[in-house]
Chains A and B, each alone.
Chain A
């Protein structure tokens, strides 16, 4: 599983990097970015899902690996 942020939808609400700083960071404008390649392990999947459920802009997506 992989987590991605849709940069078109993200408005820098800051919820993801506040609640899951090991998965998400921020850029110079304050928009959310995925740290690393976004691969989720068993220990990070639930937290990524929780961040997704808290994003007001619905900008976070969790995808199955191809």
Chain B
């Protein structure tokens, strides 16, 4: 990543890749809520960041004034040509109404609870197999060697890509997710072999249809028409990118929390019935996902002079820490009963994989603490956090205690 000047004031010059934000964004957001609830930056060609629950909610639900055609904030101000409408490169996350609803209805059934809940034994098996690989190790990297590897294995199977490709598949996913900070030319070059792999998988599914998500997408119809190949391709890329780093981040952050909050770890070990409520608090407190929108046209909005194609950085994690909505918002309360968190977004773009993510998060924690009822951070200063819009620990060395 090229060197950027350090941020001096997050209210007027914010950057979500600044080391201070990456390391600990929560005090920054609290400060913004108190003195400048919608921050601005000239970086990225101009962007706004609402730090309050109300601001995030208002924009998330306003598809009249904001478009989802680009949801990852990048350098420069995207022009009309860079933004294929109305489908977008990865439908439905990059789609706007009315096409959005059609594209969403196509894949909602594949991620509905009736389809996802039966995956629980499979997910448990994946988690247990990963834990087995740790053997008798006294120190384990719970992010890199555990949390990171759970979602791709599940998604690969849902898509019906070959089991022997698991390692290659994980590599591909990480080329995509790790490359967001690289220059555009490098990203495009790195994406070529990935694209070739997906096209090859799609062709194989066209020749040999089977009972999986890829075949479903290739054959499903909207108004009697099959989806365009680029639509299917975009949706597969979306499912990968949106389904992997995110859950990895949530599982990793949850284990990081438990590693330095032994009282919470002990409660979960001793009161397994608490898990569903605890999972929602993990999701609130460590929500991994920030999205982006683009301003459709010049306007005064939330008291700000927004310009056409300004970015909006839509911080669901910041909304989740707003004390106006959450009592003791900056405290992790493992049995918090009222928890209207927005970790999965709000409105028509609610995370389509939320049922899967929630299931993976719960099972991943359950299995980890069943095997390791006591653990601590091996070195608190060595924990590193992913930069960008998906937050979570990358390196998380845990010392297993007896």
The verdict on B113 contacting chain A, using a C-beta distance below 8 Å, is: yes
User: Contact string, A51-66, partner B, CB cutoff 8 A, digits 1/0?
Assistant: 0011111000000000
Question: In the complex, are the beta carbons of B338 and A30 less than 8 A apart?
Answer: no
Inter-chain CA distance A18–B344, complex, in Å, is 15
A54 to B342, alpha carbons, bound, how many Å? 10
B287 CB, nearest partner CB in chain A, Å: 12
Is A30 touching B346 in the complex (CB atoms < 8 A)? Answer: no
Binds A, one of B74-82, B265-273, B350-358, B366-374: B350-358
Indicate if the CB atoms of B276 and A13 lie closer than 8 Å: no
Map CB proximity to B onto A26-64 as digits: 1 under 8 Å, 0 otherwise. 111110000000000000000000100111110000000
Closest residue of chain A to B339 (Cβ to Cβ) is A54
Number of A-B contacts (CB under 8 A): 57
B114 adjacent to chain A (CB < 8 Å): yes
Interface flag for B131 (CB, 8 Å):
no
Establish whether residues B346 and A50, one from each chain, have CB atoms under 8 Å apart when the complex forms: no
Q: What band does the interface of chain B fall in when counting residues whose beta carbon is under 8 Å from A?
A: 20 to 34
- Provide the main secondary structure of the chain B interface: helix
CA distance A46 to B354 in the complex (A): 25
Contacts A12-B350, A19-B276, A29-B105 known; A53 to B112 CB distance under 8 Å? no
Given A17-B113, A26-B112, A29-B109, decide whether A56 and B355 contact each other with a Cβ distance below 8 A: no
Partner of B341, one of A29, A56, A57: A56
Is B347 interfacial (CB 8 A cutoff)? yes
Question: Within 8 Å of chain A (Cβ to Cβ): is B348?
Answer: yes
Q: Which of B112, B277, B344 contacts A13 (CB 8 A)?
A: B344
Q: Which residue of A lies closest to B111 (CB)?
A: A30
Given contacts A50-B338, A53-B340, A56-B341, contact A28 B276 (CB under 8 A): no
Residue of B nearest to A30 (CB): B112
Contacts of B109 in A (CB 8 A): 28-30
A12 and B108 contact, Cβ closer than 8 Å, known pairs A18-B276, A18-B358:
yes
What separation, in Å, do the CA atoms of A58 and B175 have in the docked complex?
Answer: 38
A57 to B348 alpha-carbon distance, docked (Å): 10
Considering the complex, give the chain B residue whose CB is closest to the CB of A19. B276
The reply on B207 being an interface residue by CB < 8 A is: no
Contact A28 B342 (CB under 8 A): no
Cα A30 to Cα B350 with chains together (Å): 11
User: Is there contact, CB below 8 Å, between A29 and B112?
Assistant: yes
Residues of B within 8 A of A56 (CB): 340-342, 344, 346
Tell me if A14 and B337 are in contact (CB < 8 A): no
Which residue on chain A has the smallest CB distance to residue B347?
A: A11
CB contacts (< 8 Å) of A11 on chain B: these are 346-348, 350
Closest approach, in angstroms, between the C-beta of B26 and any C-beta of chain A? 20
Ordered by A's residue number, 9 sampled pairs between the chains whose C-beta atoms are within 8 Å are A12-B108, A19-B277, A26-B112, A26-B113, A29-B112, A30-B109, A50-B337, A53-B338, A54-B339
**Contact residues of A with B, CB < 8 Å?**
11-15, 17-19, 26-30, 50, 53-57
